[in-house]
Structure 1
Amino acid sequence: MSARTLISPGRYVQGRGAVHQLGEYLAQLGSTPLIVADDLVWGFLGHDVEDSLRKADLPVHRAGFGGVPSENEVDRLAGVIREHGADVVLAVGGGSTIDAVKAAGFLAGTRWATFPTMASTDAPCSALSVIYTEDGGFSEYRFFPRNPDLVLVDSQVVANAPAQFLVAGVGDALATWLEARATAQSGARTMAGGLPTLTGTALAKLSWEVLWDNAIEAVDAVREHQVTPAVERVIEANTLLSGLGFESGGLAAAHAIHNGLTAVGATHGLTHGQKVNLGSLTQLVLEGAPSAEIREFVEFTTRLGLPTTLTEAGLRTDDPDTLRIVADAATAPAETIHSMPFEVRGEDVLAALVSVERLARRIRADAKLPEPVPHRAH
């Protein structure tokens, strides 16, 4: 029998202006930090990060990020960490930067911390990294013996980012409860390495509830770069609640279908959360969820601007060969789709994907929501 397990970051800090406390918290972890951030992020945040570290009597050294958390990029960063002699490495940026830094920090044998500049994924809190191929396809999950020592989120920095990133984070986080409840039913092991705890499952459900109550209002506020109570709640749901919930509550079909979608070039250019949202809807179809639940999910996520059709992912129902690639990748032996409380085969995923197109279009038409806009890969 497997034990029940809950894992979490050492400290979570969130609030407007939190960047000014970064040095204070980082100094508790080490005296020779290395910051990893791409040039774009450093251009608008570097001054505040430098100022905070210097006030804490910490040196400022930065390494760039290559853009994709691939095996080669992780190995390169691990070499930079060793060469610098860093005792803590800080990721400043989005989920790709964070995943690369966690993996590199583990290889280099140092502590790691995260400063997400957007609330677009639940990567900042977790003890795993998603590794991709150089062209953006899913390669593997890498698991680590601990979570980040520090996760610090400046709510104003998140609100200053394009609203599409917050929307993507909602798409990622909404899957947390759908997958956790499936894992709880099946009794499968979670990404934390044990059975789900009541706490992990409850946090996943709380993430769902917070998003349904606050997401639309929060996205409207972020379009004006404002931080409101709704924005703070959604940042926490996307980052902390979803991070704890997916890792200690369990992943199932939605993220496996996301991974399948990355296997075809047509979906490249979509965010992680956009692909996950299509995976969530497909999971609901696979489950035979009540029509009312599916309708509410399609209407809610469409209003947020998330894709609910194959068309919006650059796919077509009359291209079964491409959809078969997605379905086969989603049902690979090691995939989390096998945490569903019933057997799922490639044919089942293929049928669900095809049915989603007409189903979502009908729901959207009935609700007088916009027609799907085809996605063009780039």
Structure 2
Amino acid sequence: MKRSFVSPPRYLQGPGALDELGRHVNDLGGRALLVTDDVVVDVVGEDVDRSFSAAGTAYHTALFGGECTEDEIARLTEVARSEETDVVVGMGGGKVIDVAKGIRGQAGGGLVTVPTVASTDAPTSGLSVVYTDDGHIAGGLVHRERPDLVLVDTDVIASAPRRWFVSGVGDALATRFEAEATMKSGGQTFAGGRPSQAGVALAERCYDVLRTHAPAAVDAAGDGTVTEALEETVEAIVLLSGLGFENGGLAAAHAVHDGIVAATETTATHGEKVCLGLLTQLVLEGRPEETVREVARFAHDLGLPVTLADVGVAAGRVEAVAEGAFGDESSIHNQPGDPTPSAVVEALYAADELGRSLE
């Protein structure tokens, strides 16, 4: 079976990287559409304007409506066309960036993603997760192209709320195990075909970096201090995990996340839900209890959720979560052994019991 590897052509990370944004946008086109929100404008708007002005870059700002829906992508695509822009710059969290990908998919031109939080591995990928107006997952758009540039200013990342950073660690922790599951099952990746060895190697390296550097990075996050541990962990969250999941595959951890979104009203972040999904996947795979406990303890000590209650799932909704993890396009089908909803229910309860034993 075929295999392939996809990635953005350029990744730039470091303190003050925003200073270079205008110059790089100029390399891609003559006029940019900056898609962002009021919070980001308040934090880095002056820096962005200074960078664009210094490079002589023309741009128009369009404010994101708050949810990555098909209607929002269509609305902002019309703005891009009416303003005759030829580069889309998505700046903010994962949903803003996913909308920016959708706009480029409709309007064409270049795409730059500028995450202001290291909360997910969305910035490097060619996938947009699309939601309904009330916040439930409606599906995904797989784009033909990846961002032309991913630009990560670690001064900005280090100043963002710590919870978003911890959430990014939770998302990235699952990458290695989901790639291993997809490789074992012969499942499909977003890159096309089976996992590439490069994708799986990046997923494994992501996990190693997190285990080594994430505790110190979490300690530093939120106060604006850029440390070497934070730099290493940001790269693991954004780049290694992003390339690892697209080229290595997703499995039960993200399927459980989707089930939680479908079955519950929760304030848990993406990475927090994925973390519980990871523990569920490890149980589902029959991993030794000491292995599951080690991963759970590491996550718990970072401040990640390890129980159903932590992510807002009531006992009466566990079966609904498991049912929501299945579907024609669900990543549960990359899980070895063709698990059933009842097996996922048992694994959710077992993961929850183990998590509660840590508290």
> What is the TM-score when the length of structure 1 is the normalising length?
0.93
Residue 284 of structure 1 corresponds to which residue in structure 2? 282
Distance 2:319 2:76 in 1: 36
Q: Distance in 1 between matches of 2:288 and 2:347?
A: 15
Q: Deviations over 1:266-296 (max 9, x none)?
A: 32x2110000001000000100111111111
Q: Secondary structure of 1:196's partner? A: coil
Map residues 154-303 of structure 1 onto 2, 5 A cutoff: 154-267=153-266, 269-303=267-301
Alpha-carbon distance, 1:94 to partner = 0.5
Aligned counterpart, 1:78 = 77
Query: In the alignment, what sits opposite 1:376?
Result: none
* Match for residue 353 of structure 2 among 341, 358, 365: 358
Residues 1:43 and 1:223: Cα distance change in structure 2 (over 3 Å):
closer
Residue 124 of structure 1 contacts residue 243 of structure 1 at CA under 8 Å; is this kept in 2?
Answer: yes
Aligned equivalent of 1:305: 303
Q: How many residues align?
A: 359
TM-superposed deviation, 1:225: 2.1
Q: What one-letter code is carried by the residue in structure 2 that aligns with 1:329? A: G
Tell me the CA shift for residue 20 of structure 1: 0.3
Please give the alpha-carbon distance, in whole angstroms, between the structure 2 residues aligned to 1:315 and 1:93: 28
Contact 2:178 2:251 in 1 (8 A): yes
Is the partner of 2:210 in helix, strand or coil? helix
Q: Which amino acid is the alignment partner of residue 287 of structure 1? A: E
Residue range with higher mean Cα deviation, 153-162 or 54-63: 54-63
The secondary structure found in structure 2 opposite 1:348 is helix
Distance apart, 1:316 and its partner CA: 2.7
Taking the aligned partners of 2:186 and 2:33, their CA distance within structure 1 comes to: 40
Q: Which amino acid aligns with 2:276?
A: L
Alignment map for 1:49-64 (pairs within 5 Å): 49-64=48-63
- State yes or no: 1:337 paired with 2:332: yes
Displacement of 1:60 in angstroms is 2.7
- In structure 2, the residue matched to 1:130 is 129
Q: Is 1:347 paired with 2:342? A: yes
Once the two structures are TM-superposed, the CA of residue 211 in structure 1 deviates from its matched residue by 0.2
Q: Does the CA-based 8 Å contact 1:331-1:344 persist in structure 2? A: no
Q: Which residue of 2 aligns with 1:104?
A: 103
SS in 2 for 1:4: coil
Q: Which amino acid aligns with 1:74?
A: I
- Structure 1: unaligned runs, 5 residues or longer: 365-370, 372-378
Q: Is the 8 A contact 1:266 1:313 kept in 2?
A: no
Runs of 4+ displaced beyond 6 Å: none
1:330 maps to a residue whose letter is A
Please tell me whether the aligned partners of residues 264 and 313 of structure 2 are also in contact (alpha carbons under 8 angstroms): no
Aligned to 1:88: 87
Tell me the CA shift for residue 348 of structure 1. 1.1
Cα distance, 1:327 vs structure 2 = 0.9
Partners of 2:255 and 2:298 in 1: how far apart?
22
Q: Tell me, yes or no, if the aligned pair for 1:54 and 1:60 is still in contact at 8 Å.
A: no
Aligned positions of 1:311-326 closer than 5 A: 311-317=309-315, 319=316, 322-326=317-321
Shift of 1:195: 1.4
Compute the RMSD of aligned alpha carbons. 1.0
Residue 129 of structure 1 aligns to a residue whose secondary structure is strand
Instruction: Give the drift of 1:300.
Output: 0.5
Maintained 8 Å contact 1:286/1:349: yes
In structure 1, distance between residues paired with 2:222 and 2:82: 41
TM-score by length of 2: 0.98
Find the aligned partners of 2:320 and 2:78 in 1 and give their Cα distance: 35
Taking only the aligned residue pairs, the percentage that are identical comes to 47
Contact 1:253 1:337 in 2 (8 A): yes
Q: For residue 214 of structure 1, report the CA deviation from its aligned partner.
A: 0.5
Contact 2:191–2:247, Cα closer than 8 Å, also in 1: yes
Partner letter of residue 4 of structure 1?
Answer: R
**Cα shift readout 1:285-335 (whole Å, capped 9, x = no counterpart):** 100111111111111000111101001111233x1xx22221111011220
Q: Do 2:263 and 2:324's aligned partners in 1 also have CA atoms closer than 8 Å? A: no
CA contact (8 A) 2:268 2:312 kept: no
Conserved in 1, the CA contact under 8 Å of 2:130 and 2:137? yes
User: How much does 1:191 deviate?
Assistant: 1.1
Query: SS state of the match for residue 78, structure 2?
Result: helix
